[in-house]
Amino acid sequence: MARKSQKNAESESPEKNSLKTQSQGLPPSPPTLQDINDTLETNFMPYAMSIIVSRAIPEIDGFKPSHRKLLYTMYKMGLLTGNRTKSSNVVGQTMKLNPHGDMAIYETMVRLARGNGSLLHPYVDSKGNFGKQYSRDMQYAAPRYTEVRLEKICEELFRGLDKNAVDFTDNYDGTMKEPVLLPATFPSILVNANQGIAAGMASNICSFNIREVCEATIAYMKDPATDLLSIMPAPDFPGGGLILYDENAMRNIYESGRGPVRIRSKYFADKAHNLIEVTEIPYTTTAEAIIDEITELVKSGKVKEINDIRDETDLDGLKICIECKRGTDMDALMTKLFRFTKLEDVFSCNFNVLINGTPRVLGVSALLAEWVVWRRTCQKREVVYEMDKKKDKLHLLDGLAKILLDIDKAISIIRNTELEADVIPNLMKGFDIDSLQAEYVAEIKLRNINRQYILNRTADRENLSKEIKDLEDILKKPERLDALIIKALENAAKKYGQERRSELLKAEEAATFNDSNMIEDYRLKLFLSNHGYIKKIALTSLRNAGDLKIKEDDEIMMELEGTNKSEILFFSDKCNCYKVKGFELPDTKPSEYGGYLPNLLSMEEGERIIFMHIADDFTGNALFSFANGKISKIPMSAYETKQNRKKLIKAYSDLSPIVSIHYLTEDVTMAAFSNLRKAIVFDTSLIPLKTTRSSQGVQVLTSKRGSVMTEVKPLDQTGFTDPEYYRVRRLPAIGYYLKEETIESRQLTLGDL
């Protein structure tokens, strides 16, 4: 039989059967194919649902199952009012409800403890080393060395638990009962941060100030259309810090339940000792991670202002000391560190909460709405419980009142009853009362069988009747039920409220780091050629340079002096304006042609640059002259943009071909020429300033017989010996024919015209 069973086992085992066929030189049998859908449904889905519903996602009371089991165990151990006990004792008792390992339970306790600092309002009063939320390397002590008890705020979590406020269920082995939810009297789901990663989804809920949360909940209950942002403007993190406040982004989080909250560290600059002391960091990072990032920046040479960095965290709290070099602009350094390290970080909100066993991502108002509905149910169950208790007591007192009519008869019935089991039935018959009332009467002590005692007891009947009617009225009137909830919220806000730890700083007012701060700045000179080549040469290189190399048929049309961080405007003949920074242009040696602008600026086919301007402060005006005789004066500020735009279309009017562009810091005298060899001299103050870039301006030179304006230049470049002959006081003007005697170097000038 043994051999036979062994043979059958081998035949049923695929692995052994495969080895057997291989040993016999036979090919192995193909594996059995399984439908992936069936495998996922039978194997993966139960596991995924388990960790979503009963492990990783918090419920409307603000707790995951591991938190709830731990706190309830401590409550049953009497740690709400008693002395502290060893953490290992609590861990051991919690294992009756939580089937996971002892260290997993202890890690949950550590996060709930005051000593760790993970929660804005801790639930566990701790003694001993529980590590720190802001430290990666500061480890918590073993549970045998630490002691715990419940914080006073837990009274609000368990209030009503003994009044049937919530349902109870069996623990994992059916030997104990535990609450399905805790009847928290305030929205703890928003008061303390909660994070969890399930299968295919996650939850990341930030903490809010308890006073603001309670006030917002009260306002919402009174008017669901209340603007919650005006009451609780932003989250409040245990580690403090500065929240870079953007009202639109925050409103989106409140409405959708998702979005980023940017947090910046707080620091103090000690300029006398060249020290920066960081005392508060974002909730999402640790001091060691920040120090490592700053150290790496210093080693790579990206940050050269730091001599040393130290972690000086002690019993007084977090402190990161950054020792700077003498003369360092500490505020500018911090903006750089905010940009490249986790001294400024983002908390990504994802308000994913289990509502009746279903995970839902809710905004703040929707979350408060669900909490109010759930809390009303808890409060109603408490009222019903109290009413039933009072009704039971009134029922017993009604029976006692009947005894008052004839005490001697009751004593006689009890005395003349031979069997103890017949006492209750005989009392029921003698006074027409039920078994509960008879049992209550029979249990009265002999010393209490007097008229005074019975009168005192029955005097409570009227009060009980009034109280029962009042409770029934509460159940009938939702506003009275809400009043009880609001009273509890007001009590929690008054008793446990505290000032905000995280300050708000408007995002637009926060100093930010500009990439250009990392770029070396120096004086340079720009040369623009007719063929579209741009030369960028440092002044130090230009001093010892020889002739600039250009193509044979090319020539330099403009040259300007600026810095490597200057903003440069290039105007083309197709009404476009290209904007680049000096450092974006390639460095050029005097012996090179330079960069080709059509390629550098991604210009259109056949487009040509006709004017170049360095706009460090966008002051002054641009003068645009057109072939139809019109000239427009546009302020340079019209070309200043907040966004980093590289191209502005319709930079000037396209109704007539452009003749020339000039930059003016103040009004000057100019000369305009037509193809009929006519000219005028005019002051630019006669041309009004237009704020619209595409403005065509005003008529300056009147067209005759189809004439066009061919050139506009400053008076000192005309060579006029008698400029007053051509001067006009009013615009437009027909112009005056050129006289050779009024022009110096007549042959050259007339040839140019």
Strands 523-529, 533-538: pairing kind:
antiparallel
The DSSP 8-state label assigned to residue 581 in this structure reads: E
pLDDT at position 747 is 41
Burial 394-432 (b: 16+ CB within 10 A, else e): bebbebbbbbeeeeeebeebbeeeeeeeebbebbbebbe
Question: Which homologous superfamily is 620-633+653-753 in?
Answer: DNA gyrase/topoisomerase IV, subunit A, C-terminal (2.120.10.90)
- Where does CATH 1.10.268.10 sit in the chain? 369-496
Every domain range in the chain assigned CATH 3.90.199.10: 63-183
Q: What is 369-496's CATH number, 1.10.3720.10, 1.10.268.10, 3.40.50.410, 3.40.50.1000? A: 1.10.268.10
Strand bridging mode 266-270 / 556-563: unpaired
pLDDT at 1: 39
Intervals of the chain under pLDDT 50? 1-16, 18-23, 746-753
Q: What is the pLDDT of residue 33?
A: 79
How many residues are recorded in the chain? 753
Cα separation, 72 vs 81, whole angstroms = 14
Predicted pLDDT at 515: 67
Active site residue 145: yes
DSSP, residue by residue, 155-193: HHHHTTGGGT-S-EEE-TTSSSEEESS---SS-HHHHS-
pLDDT in tens, 145-157: 999 999 999 999 9
Q: Where are the domain boundaries for CATH 2.120.10.90 in the chain?
A: 620-633+653-753
- pLDDT attached to residue 21: 46
| In the chain, ranges of CATH 3.30.1360.40 domains | 266-342
Long-range contacts of 290-299 (CB under 8 A, 24+ apart): 290/265, 290/320, 290/341, 290/342, 290/343, 291/320, 293/340, 293/341, 293/342, 294/322, 294/337, 294/341, 297/337, 297/340, 297/341
Strands of the sheet containing 678-683, edge to edge, are: 709-714, 669-674, 678-683, 736-737
Q: Which residues contact 333 (CB under 8 A, 6 or more apart)?
A: 276, 303, 305, 306, 322, 324
Maximum Cα interatomic distance, the chain, rounded to a whole number of Å: 154
* Whole-number Å distance between alpha carbons of 733 and 720: 18
Query: How are strands ordered across the β-sheet holding 147-150?
Result: 85-86, 147-150, 124-127
Q: Is 631 left (phi over 0), alpha (psi -120 to 50) or beta?
A: beta
pLDDT attached to residue 510: 85
Integer Cα distance of 122 and 158 in angstroms: 15
Pick the CATH number of 266-342 from 3.30.1360.40, 3.40.50.2000, 3.40.50.300, 3.40.50.10800: 3.30.1360.40
Catalytic residue selected from 47, 106, 123, 145: 145
d(CA 277, CA 334): 11
Cα(500)–Cα(504) distance, rounded to whole angstroms? 10
SS3 content of the chain, % helix, strand, coil (to 5): 40, 20, 40
Rounded distance, CA 213 to CA 339, Å?
32
Q: Which amino acid is at 169?
A: T
Query: Domain 63-183 classified CATH 3.40.50.300?
Result: no
State residue 12's pLDDT score.
45
Query: What span, in angstroms and rounded, lies between the C-alpha atoms of 248 and 508?
Result: 12
Find the angle CA(565)-CA(570)-CA(575) to the nearest 5 degrees.
145
**DSSP string covering 196-243, please?**
EE-SS-EEEE----HHHHHHHHHHHHH-TT--GGGTS-S---TT--EE
Distance CA 504, CA 407 (A): 74
